[in-house]
Amino acid sequence: MNDFAGRIAVVTGGGTGMGRELVRQLVAEGCNVAMCDVSASAMAETQLLCEAQRLPQGLRLTSHLADVSDAAQVERFRDEVEERQQTDRIHLLFNNAGIGGGGSMIANSREEWERTFNICWGGVYLCTRTFLPMMLRADAAHIVNTSSVNGFWASVGPRVSHTAYCAAKFAVKGFTEALMTDLRLHAPHIKCSVVMPGHIGTSIVANSRKIHSGTDSDSLSAAEIAQARQRAAAGGLEVTSMSDADIQNMVLERARQFLEDAPTTAADAATIILNGVKAGRWRILVGHDAHRIDELVRQSPEQAYELDFFEAFAGEVGWRLGTPTAPKPASPAS
Ligand SMILES: NC(=O)c1ccc[n+]([C@@H]2O[C@H](COP(=O)([O-])OP(=O)(O)OC[C@H]3O[C@@H](n4cnc5c(N)ncnc54)[C@H](O)[C@@H]3O)[C@@H](O)[C@H]2O)c1
């Protein structure tokens, strides 16, 4: 599919980050879009940004509150898409919604681990299954599943546990690769791609913390401060002399760095993804860091989880992820 004009796309997690940029760029190309998210205010912001760039005449952009890890909510989302987009078919499905967290089988709760896994993997599975009949009815369709470099390299460095996210992203990659053959055999008009971004500048760190803690606040609860302290200590940071305010600042600083110090912006990532779909590519690496880690893991798989391997890679591409963040001094008021 090399032209999105007049098509109908479903984008999960359209409220912020890469999802928002996908929605904006699809709309700019004249594609009708139905987005879902767990944040109504974030979707309202995406909608406003799209309207500010002027929606093409008659284009339908609809927002739907739905948690992709909940089968009943995904089915309701599908029903709403049929009604509000006035269609029984869609052409593009971007399974983009995802969160981090639940890194450790030991230090994190089962609930947190499964929340990350069920959104990052379960969401892709449920949305694919639920929207498949609408793609079977279309003349052409494309499923775009967002995995990560963590879909082929299960690490952000040897100082950080990352099990739930990596397990989910490997599942997304394996599922999408197997789906290629399944679609060729049973529905050859549907294609699929797996997207593997490196570090992209988004608010995923801050958003994930809020989703896990069930709050919209930037202030950490006592339990979150204790957990962040434990995680920093496990990563080799000296935390005994740090106050709770220092820990809070460290967490905010890490989220800020993730958003602002990334080698690739969310807008550039969305362009790379959409160009990859138009070019019919099934594997879409996003960012020079993603291309480089792909090469390195193939070159020396046995070394991939060693400190030397990580430090050489991080140094080469300028990654600061996976390295303990020294806290910024707490403000005098705190
Ligand atoms: N940012 C990166 O460096 C990076 C790297 C590799 C892969 N990814 C993946 O890219 C995708 C987009 O992430 P992003 O970085 O743009 O993050 P983001 O936090 O900016 O955007 C994710 C959106 O998904 C929404 N969301 C979260 N849980 C949801 C749920 N259960 N149901 C519906 N919506 C939900 C969030 O509210 C948010 O609007 C994710 O799958 C993420 O794992 C990100």
Residues 291-327 pLDDT 10s: 999 999 999 999 999 999 999 999 999 998 876 665 5
Report whether residue 97 contacts ligand 1, using a CB cutoff of 6 Å: yes
Percentage of the chain lying above the pLDDT 70 cut: 96
| Shortest-distance Cα residue to atom 33 of ligand 1 | 37
pTM for this entry = 0.95
How does pLDDT run across 263-295, given as a tens digit for each residue? 999 999 999 999 999 999 999 999 999 999 999
Query: What spacing in Å lies between the alpha carbon of 105 and ligand 1's midpoint?
Result: 22
Residue nearest to atom 41 of ligand 1 (CA): 98
In this structure, how many other beta carbons lie within 10 angstroms of the beta carbon of residue 230? 13
CA-169 nearest atom, ligand 1:
43
Q: What is the mean pLDDT of residues 11-26?
A: 98
Torsion angles phi and psi, residue 206, rounded to 5:
-65, -45
pLDDT of residue 237: 86
Given a cut of 80, whether residue 332 has pLDDT beyond it is: no
Verify whether ligand 1 is closer than 6 Å to residue 287 (CB atom).
no
Task: Quote the mean pLDDT of the chain.
Answer: 94
Res. 329: pLDDT tops 60? no
Nearest CA to ligand 1 atom 8: 148
Cα–Cα–Cα angle for 248, 253, 258, rounded to 5 degrees:
135
- Pocket-testing residue among 24, 130, 196, 204, ligand 1, by greatest number of atoms within 8 A of Cβ: 204
Dist. CA 252–CA 249, nearest whole Å: 5
Report which ligand 1 atom has the smallest distance to the Cα of 199: 3
Q: Which atom of ligand 1 is nearest to the CA of 68?
A: 32
Does residue 101 surpass a pLDDT of 60? yes
Q: Are residues 313 and 292 in contact, defined by beta-carbon separation less than 8 angstroms?
A: yes
Statement: residue 211 has pLDDT above 90? yes
Hey, CA dihedral for 76, 78, 84, 88, is it positive or negative?
negative
In this structure, what token pair is assigned to residue 70? Answer: 């909940």
**Residue for token pair 């927002």:** 63
